[in-house]
Chains A and B, each alone.
Chain A
Amino acid sequence: MIEAHGLTKRYGKTLAVDDLTFSVEPGRVTGFLGPNGAGKSTTMRMMLGLDNPTAGRVTIKGKPYHELHHPLRTVGALLDAKWVHPNRSARAHLTWMAKSNRIPQRRVDEVLDIVGLTSVAGKRAGGFSLGMSQRLGIAGALLGDPEVLLFDEPVNGLDPEGILWIRKFMHRLADEGRTVFVSSHLLSEMALTASDLVVIGKGKLISQSTTDEFIARATENTVKVRSPQLDVLRGALTDASAEIASVDDGLLVSGMDSAKIGEIAAANRVVLHELSPQQGSLEQAFMQITGDSVEYHTGLETEAEQVLSATAR
């Protein structure tokens, strides 16, 4: 259970995080979504007491982070997989973390086993690939068997296998009743991982809802219709005040669901060859909602390219 209340962080003139209020529930994976530079990492650092909020507060299980006793046993976090001394072995890294919170040494071997790093536990962490570093970071987060887990962009730069592994892993953690809070700038990834979404842009809260609600609200519902009697149908739909656009061999109807279109067609005795609801792309949806709050505005075209290239990455 994480609660942010009026959380604000100001760096000089820039407001990195602006009056954020939201809560994260246990037993679910909650996505923390926003374009790059929206303030996701800053928010997570404030959750861990690393950065001091300019105003507001954030509590974990009702307490500010620094009041937690042996905090690694309550909160596990992976903010940056590179936060490891390159000349220290994976096991030594976990050993000092375990020692600091009085976690038994055998737990170190357990978590190394969970993330599959047992065979390289004695190797220096500087030689790890990004995927291995991420796994080591996750091992560190799991060390204290915490109820609350924070992950900042955990799938960034991972191969498909690694992404799938992390996704399944987070579901398992949530199914065990833990609070899982994971940030990403990719809605398509979050749609598969998270059941709830906290969406921010330019440091401000845009929405907090379930993922399905967000996607439904975000994607513009259109229905594709094909018919040999298109002209009749076009007239009938226009009379029913639907918006219509012509595509190569049919119509694209928005502002009306497929059931209604079918009924109108039947009432007008129009034969339909196709009646198919179209799902808008998630990236379009995300842009539509956060479009006004991208940190570095460069016109919509370049913005679209940015989002698309971000997706391709």
Chain B
Amino acid sequence: MTLLAVERIKLFSTRSPWWCAVAALVLTTGFTALVVGNADEEFPATVASTQFGYSFGLAVIMVLAALAVTTEYRFGTIRTTFQAIPNRTAALLAKTTVVALLSLVIGEIVAFASWGLSLLLQPQADLALNSTADWINVAGVGPVYAFAAVMAVAVGILVRHSAGAISLLLIYNLAVESLVSLIPNIGDDIYEWMPFNVANKFLTGAGASNAGRAAEAGAPMSTSPLSPGWALAYFAGVALVLLGIAIASARRRDA
């Protein structure tokens, strides 16, 4: 608990988490307003369409999480940290936990703000959360943000440089995953197991929250064959394995 308090003080005594939280909220709700505001009779707004913008917030969250680590390397405070807490595993786990919890909270705020905004914009649309799929699609954004933050922290520990870690994360998230499916023959099979595609499966499931409509009415469906529950477990697993590798490396390397 002490270590969690330490990391909480460190995180909130700088301004970047606040800016990132605001940026995540503005970007995501802004995109939601565009999508939902343009819904019409033919394609009415759905619960899923209120969350199409979640990937914008996701990118911001990963920037926040990577920065939480890389700025420590940049300014040398990681050495002060390891000096105060020689058990590097404990120190880094505490940091990851605090960043992940913050991301979870931001995720929930962003998701419900987007949904609430949609209710105001399209009061006549059926946006009630009246199935498990609906609930997962909105409330699931928090856990996805949290585990994405764990991945970003892990990459930050491994790469150590802000610019390097952030470009790696964003290029991967925004481009590399979807480009994988362009590989002839095996591309689609690999893509099914790419972590962010799988995370999308957790959120959107088989499309129930999108009123059974598929790609033509918004974001494409995830191609992952996993059930939503397993999809989250898989996404979390990838994040935790990355974190394990990162911590093992941090223990071995000179700070």
Residues of the A chain whose Cβ atoms lie less than 8 Å from the Cβ of B3: 100
In the bound assembly, the distance between CA atoms of A122 and B85 in angstroms comes to 25
The answer to whether A86 touches B75 (Cβ under 8 A) is yes
Contact indicator per residue, chain B 147-173, by CB within 8 Å of chain A (1) or not (0): 000000000000000000000000000
Query: Which residue of the partner chain, among B9, B71, B80, contacts A140 with CB atoms under 8 Å?
Result: B80
| Interchain nearest-CB distance for A100 vs B (Å) | 4
Say whether A246 faces chain B, with CB atoms less than 8 Å apart: no
Residues 86 to 114 of chain A near chain B (Cβ within 8 Å) = 86-89, 92-93, 95-97, 99-102
Pair B9/A83 contact, Cβ less than 8 Å: no
**B211 to nearest A CB, angstroms?**
46
Are B75 and A92 interface neighbours, CB within 8 A?
no
A68 interfacial by beta-carbon distance below 8 Å: yes
Kindly specify which of B10-18, B115-123, B212-220 makes contact with the partner chain.
B10-18
- A147 CB to closest chain B CB (Å) equals 16
A34→B2 CA distance, assembly (Å): 40
Size class of the contact patch on chain A? 20 to 34
The contact of A66 among B15, B71, B87, B252, by CB within 8 Å, is B87
- CA of A82 to CA of B80, assembled, Å: 11
**Which residue of A is nearest B80, CB measured?**
A83
Is A82's CB under 8 angstroms from B254's CB?
no
Q: Across the interface, name the chain B residue whose C-beta is closest to A96.
A: B9
In contact, A100 and B255 (Cβ under 8 angstroms): no
Q: What is the bound-complex CA distance between A1 and B65, given in angstroms?
A: 40
Cα-based distance from A80 to B76 in the complex (angstroms): 8
Q: Are A82 and B76 in contact (CB under 8 A)?
A: yes
User: Given A89-B13, A99-B9, A100-B6 in contact, is the A50-B82 Cβ separation under 8 Å?
Assistant: yes
Decide yes or no: A100 and B76 within 8 Å by CB, A85-B14, A87-B15, A92-B9 being known contacts: no
- Point out the residues of chain A lying under 8 angstroms from B80, CB to CB: 83-84, 97, 140
Whole-angstrom CA separation of A268 from B185 in the bound complex: 108
Q: Are A85 and B77 in contact (CB under 8 A)?
A: yes
Question: B2 near A84 (CB under 8 angstroms)?
Answer: no
Please give me the residue from chain B that is nearest to A137 by CB atom.
B80
Residue A249 is within 8 A (CB to CB) of chain B in the complex? no
Give Cα A82 to B10, complex, Å: 16
Taking the closest CB of chain A, its distance from the CB of B71, in whole angstroms, is 7
Instruction: Give the complex CA separation of A9 and B202 in angstroms.
Output: 49
Residue contact A66 to B86, C-beta cutoff 8 Å? yes
Known: A99-B9, A100-B2. A87 touches B84 (CB 8 A): no
Minimum CB–CB distance for B118 against chain A, Å: 36
Closest to A144 in B: B84
Q: Is A71 an interface residue (CB 8 A)?
A: yes
Chain A residue numbers with a CB within 8 Å of B13 are 85, 88-89, 92-93, 95-96
A65 and B86 contacting across the interface, CB-CB below 8 Å: yes
A96 to B4, CA, bound (A): 11
Considering the complex, give the chain A residue whose CB is closest to the CB of B11.
Answer: A96
Q: Does A79 contact B (CB under 8 A)?
A: yes
Q: Which residues of A contact B75 (CB under 8 A)?
A: 82-86
B99–chain A nearest beta-carbon distance, Å: 15
When distances are taken between beta carbons in the complex, the residues of chain A under 8 Å from B15 are 87
A51 contacts the other chain (CB 8 A) = yes
A residues less than 8 Å from B85 (CB atoms): 100
| Bound Cα distance A132, B16 (Å) | 24
In the complex, what residues of B have CB within 8 A of residue A87's CB? 14-16
Asked if A200 is at the interface (CB within 8 A of a chain B CB), the reply is: no
- A156 to B163, alpha carbons, bound, how many Å? 31
Interface string of B38-58 (1 = CB under 8 A from A): 000000000000000000000
A45 at the interface (CB under 8 A from B): yes
Q: Decide yes or no whether A277 CB sits under 8 A from chain B.
A: no
B9, B82, B83, B87: the one contacting A95 at CB < 8 Å is B9
User: Do A71 and B6 touch across chains, with their CB atoms under 8 A apart?
Assistant: no
- A68: which B residues are within 8 A, CB to CB? 86
Beta-carbon nearest neighbor of B253 in chain A: A52
Listed in ascending order, the chain A residues whose CB lies under 8 Å from chain B are 45, 48-52, 65-66, 68, 71-72, 77, 79-80, 82-89, 92-93, 95-97, 99-102, 140
21 contacts between A and B (CB under 8 A): A45-B79, A45-B255, A48-B83, A49-B86, A50-B82, A50-B254, A65-B86, A71-B84, A77-B83, A83-B79, A85-B10, A85-B71, A85-B72, A87-B16, A88-B13, A92-B9, A95-B9, A96-B10, A97-B84, A100-B81, A100-B84
Q: Nearest 7 CB-CB pairs, A to B? A: A83-B76, A92-B13, A66-B86, A51-B254, A100-B84, A96-B9, A50-B255
Known contacts A72-B84, A99-B9, A102-B2; 9 additional CB pairs below 8 A are A49-B86, A71-B83, A71-B86, A82-B75, A92-B13, A96-B13, A99-B2, A100-B81, A140-B80
